[in-house]
């Protein structure tokens, strides 16, 4: 029996396996690239349950058929090991968590992660993965709770504080999120997740200049980050510029630090969703982006795993609807319906989410791409109460609200947009470009009414 760098017992006598597990964990927590080492460790130490479990997890993260096959292989090997009593109690519980996640049984997976955080709060990796599961179903309270448990046992670890900062921000506890995030950033220079959490605070407060300064001062530390973290942090910077009205700078960042980033991975779901999200926001502000749409849509068409999470799938949906591949788009919608049908009883909540809310959202987003704003307004409005449950952060899901507002205004339902715009104005969120849209569409009277009812919108 050996121990990892955080003092958690690992059921192996092979020090090289523990070193590999530590490298894998460090990459996961710091958003690095040193992941493949876990496959070598599982091959060299096939009776180590934790190496098998992490191998399965990495297979799932690969988002392709080869990765799914690897995940299945490691899960089957893990099941055989568990049957012989291998692994510590913590490792067996963690194995069950990953097994549940592979079945899309989020309820069991999060329950197992909570138990891990209660009994082994030094297992920061498990808490981080648990927070991701909560994030993917829009459970901000769960994100905060599980982070707090591990942070209480990890006072010296910046990554634990970064984890807590993001959970706090998603719960709307902005002052505490900023304090905790800044503390994490002071503890170590390379803590991109803490930088990111504080960027969310700036975004939610509408402090665009402050957000740009905070992130650009730290951008040099993201050089060795994986594609998601590098492009997502730059996505946030582009968002700040966009909301300042500087579409040129946002587009420059898109071309050099997002879709055009040398270290980007155009096959990866998060890179694709970030690109689509930025292109839609730029389109809503009147930019014509033809070639860029086909660049992204072509990559999305190559995906082997299309229905990973409702939030991400909604982004693929828009890109395909905007592309010239109409047949592929129809297949995509049918495939979504079919995918939901394959989910078993253990995944019933997710199946319901796909069929009752995600599919109509995708149809609504597709209608917006087709300039059918009446249908888009109806479907986006109907699904609005369920957006949070589809995952993504406040800042990411704001895209859906911007599309909804745009569809309302363009379909002659401006009055319904007024209170939403007023709330946005009060919180400093992007809305001014819609004022221009209104003017173009001779809906100035509706805007004037908005100003009279909500004076803060005039600023």
- Using the minimum distance from each CB to Fe ion, give the nearer residue, 393 or 435: 393
- CB of residue 424 to Fe ion, shortest distance in Å: 18
* Binding flags for Fe ion, 392-431, as an x/- string (CB under 5 A): -x--------------------------------------
Cβ 95 to Fe ion shortest distance, Å = 30
Of all residues in the shown chain, the one whose CB is closest to Fe ion is 393
CB 236 → Fe ion: shortest distance, Å? 6
Query: Which residues lie closer than 8 Å to 452 by C-beta, 6 or more apart?
Result: none
User: Which CB atom, from 192 or from 310, has the smaller least distance to Fe ion?
Assistant: 192
Q: Residue 283 or 393: which CB sits closer to Fe ion? A: 393
Q: For residue 2, what are the β-bridge partners?
A: 10
Minimum CB distance to Fe ion, residue 149 (Å): 22
Number of Cβ within 10 Å of residue 69's Cβ equals: 12
Burial class (CB in 10 A: 0-12, 13-18, 19+), 368: buried
Q: What are phi and psi of 426, to 5 degrees?
A: -65, -35
* DSSP alpha helix (H) spans, 84-220: 89-102, 106-119, 124-136, 140-152, 158-170, 174-187, 192-205, 208-216
Contact mark string toward Fe ion, 8..47, x via CB under 5 A: ----------------------------------------
Asked whether the beta carbons of 101 and 58 are under 8 A apart, the reply is no
The residue (of 123 and 401) whose beta carbon lies closer to Fe ion is: 401
Residues 6+ apart with CB under 8 A from 401: 384, 387, 420, 424
Cβ proximity to Fe ion, 122 vs 232, nearer residue:
232
* Spatial contact of 311 and 392, defined as CB atoms under 8 Å apart: yes
Nearer to Fe ion, 55 or 167 (CB): 167
Site string for Fe ion, 380-399 (x = CB under 5 A): -------------x------
Q: What whole-number distance in Å separates Cα of residue 342 and Cα of residue 66? A: 20
Count residues contacting Fe ion (CB under 5 A)?
Answer: 1
Residue 105 Cβ, how far from Fe ion at the closest point, in Å? 26
Instruction: Give the nearest distance from C-beta 185 to Fe ion in angstroms.
Output: 15
User: Which residues would be at the binding site for Fe ion (CB under 5 A)?
Assistant: 393
């Amino acid at each position: 029996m050996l121990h990892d760098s955080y003092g958690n017992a690992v059921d192996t006598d092979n020090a090289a396996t523990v070193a590999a597990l530590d490298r894998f964990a460090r990459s996961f927590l710091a958003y690095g690239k040193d992941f493949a080492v876990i496959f070598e460790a599982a091959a060299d130490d096939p009776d180590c349950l934790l190496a098998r479990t992490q191998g399965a997890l990495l297979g799932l993260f690969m988002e392709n058929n080869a990765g799914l096959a690897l995940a299945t292989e490691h899960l089957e090997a893990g099941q055989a090991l568990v049957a012989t009593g291998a692994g510590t109690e913590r490792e067996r519980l963690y194995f069950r968590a990953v097994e549940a996640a592979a079945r899309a049984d989020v309820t069991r997976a999060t329950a197992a992660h909570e138990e891990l955080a209660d009994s082994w709060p030094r297992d920061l990796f498990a808490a981080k993965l648990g927070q991701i599961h909560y994030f993917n179903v829009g459970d901000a309270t769960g994100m905060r709770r599980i982070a707090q448990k591990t942070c209480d046992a990890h006072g010296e670890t910046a990554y634990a504080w970064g984890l807590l900062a993001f959970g706090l921000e998603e719960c709307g506890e902005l002052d505490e999120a900023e304090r905790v995030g800044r503390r994490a950033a002071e503890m170590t220079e390379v803590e991109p997740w803490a930088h990111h959490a504080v960027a969310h605070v700036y975004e939610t407060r509408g402090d665009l200049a402050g957000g740009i300064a905070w992130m650009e001062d730290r951008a040099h530390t993201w050089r060795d980050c994986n594609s998601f973290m590098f492009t997502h942090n730059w996505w946030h910077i582009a968002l700040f510029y966009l909301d300042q009205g500087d579409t040129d700078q946002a587009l420059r960042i898109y071309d050099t630090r997002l879709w055009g980033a040398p270290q980007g991975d155009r096959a990866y779901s998060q890179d694709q969703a970030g690109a689509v999200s930025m292109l839609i926001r730029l389109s809503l502000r009147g930019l014509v982006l033809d070639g860029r749409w086909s660049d992204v849509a072509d990559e999305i068409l190559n995906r082997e795993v299309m229905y990973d999470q409702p939030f991400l799938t909604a982004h693929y949906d828009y890109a395909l609807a905007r592309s010239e591949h109409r047949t592929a788009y129809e297949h995509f919608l049918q495939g979504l319906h079919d995918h939901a049908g394959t989910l078993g009883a253990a995944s019933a909540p997710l199946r319901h989410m796909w069929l009752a809310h995600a599919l109509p959202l995708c149809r609504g987003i597709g209608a917006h791409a087709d300039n059918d704003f009446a249908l888009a307004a109806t479907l986006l409005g109907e699904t609005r109460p369920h957006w949070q449950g589809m995952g993504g952060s406040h800042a990411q899901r704001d895209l859906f609200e911007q599309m909804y507002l745009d569809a309302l205004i363009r379909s002659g339902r401006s009055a319904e947009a007024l209170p939403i715009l007023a709330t946005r104005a009060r919180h400093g969120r992007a809305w001014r470009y819609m004022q221009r849209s209104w003017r173009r569409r001779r809906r100035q009277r509706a805007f004037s009414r908005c100003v009279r009812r909500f004076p803060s919108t005039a600023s």
